């Protein structure tokens, strides 16, 4: 997500301190669901509202973006979501082994060029990091508009210890749409009649 550098981001983040994962990690014993690259937070906040018994955590590397997600959570007075400004490559520094029950990857940067594939959030390097923090039997749910990135993800998940149990190239045409929560990007793509790919992969 590209943006102009915003003024006052640090101050705005300070005003949302209760929502900072650094200072106030996940408290209850409920399962923890983690979104990586949460953008402005529509998805994680709607899920937190829908499932008060789940602890949600969201990681985003751009502070000017995550601050909007934090402000959204604060305005909704959500009690079960925390935000972490970090790169996904450092997740192992913040979450304990086996702490996470589900990872959501929504419209991750597709990195079109072959020499950039190792930056994709489903490259083997990242899957190894996720495997450390995921519980056995936990799952990764992924949505994207990009078929190349989707096929790459299916292949790498299958080769790296995940069982891709559900997948579709057209989420809106089929059975997995029930209970779907739209992200900001998704809303935009759906309005343009673009197809959304979806998969659910279980750590075996």
Question: Catalytic amino acids?
Answer: 109
Q: Kindly state the smallest distance separating residue 6's Cβ from ligand SAH, in Å.
A: 14
Maximum CA pair distance of the chain?
45
Residue from 33, 60, 70, 199 in contact with ligand SAH (CB under 6 A): 60
The pattern of x and - marking residues 143 through 182 that bind ligand SAH according to CB under 6 A reads ----------------------------------------
Site for ligand SAH in 103-132 (CB under 6 A): 106-109
- According to DSSP, the β-strands at 100-106 and 81-85 are unpaired
C-alpha–C-alpha distance, residues 26 and 38, integer Å? 17
Q: How many binding residues for ligand SAH (CB under 6 A)?
A: 20
Measured from the CB atom, is 168 or 183 closer to ligand SAH? 183
Measured from the CB atom, is 69 or 201 closer to ligand SAH? 69
Sheet holding 81-85, edge to edge: 81-85, 55-60, 32-36, 100-106, 134-144, 197-203, 162-168
Site for ligand SAH in 69-88 (CB under 6 A): 87-88
Q: Kindly state the smallest distance separating residue 147's Cβ from ligand SAH, in Å.
A: 17
151-180 burial code (b ≥16 CB/10 A, e <16): ebbbebbeebebebeebbeebeeeebeeee
H/E run at residue 73 = helix 63-75
Q: Kindly state the smallest distance separating residue 180's Cβ from ligand SAH, in Å.
A: 12
């Amino acid at each position: 997500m590209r943006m102009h550098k915003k003024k006052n981001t640090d101050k705005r983040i300070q005003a949302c301190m209760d929502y900072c994962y650094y200072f106030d990690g996940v408290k209850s014993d409920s399962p923890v669901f983690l979104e990586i690259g949460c953008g402005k937070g529509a998805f994680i906040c709607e899920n937190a509202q829908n499932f008060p018994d789940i602890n949600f955590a969201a990681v985003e590397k751009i502070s000017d973006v995550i601050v909007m997600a934090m402000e959204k959570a604060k305005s909704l007075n959500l009690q079960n979501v925390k935000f972490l400004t970090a790169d996904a490559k450092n997740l192992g520094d913040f979450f304990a082994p086996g702490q996470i029950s589900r990872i959501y990857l929504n419209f991750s940067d597709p990195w079109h060029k072959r020499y950039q594939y190792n930056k994709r959030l489903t490259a083997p390097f990242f899957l190894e990091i996720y495997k450390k923090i995921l519980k056995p039997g936990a799952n990764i749910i992924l949505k994207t508009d990009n078929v190349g990135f989707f096929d790459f993800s299916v292949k790498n998940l299958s080769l790296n210890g995940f069982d891709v149990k559900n997948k579709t190239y057209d989420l809106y045409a089929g059975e997995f749409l029930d209970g779907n929560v739209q992200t900001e990007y998704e809303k935009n793509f759906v309005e343009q009649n673009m197809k959304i790919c979806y998969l659910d992969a279980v750590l075996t």
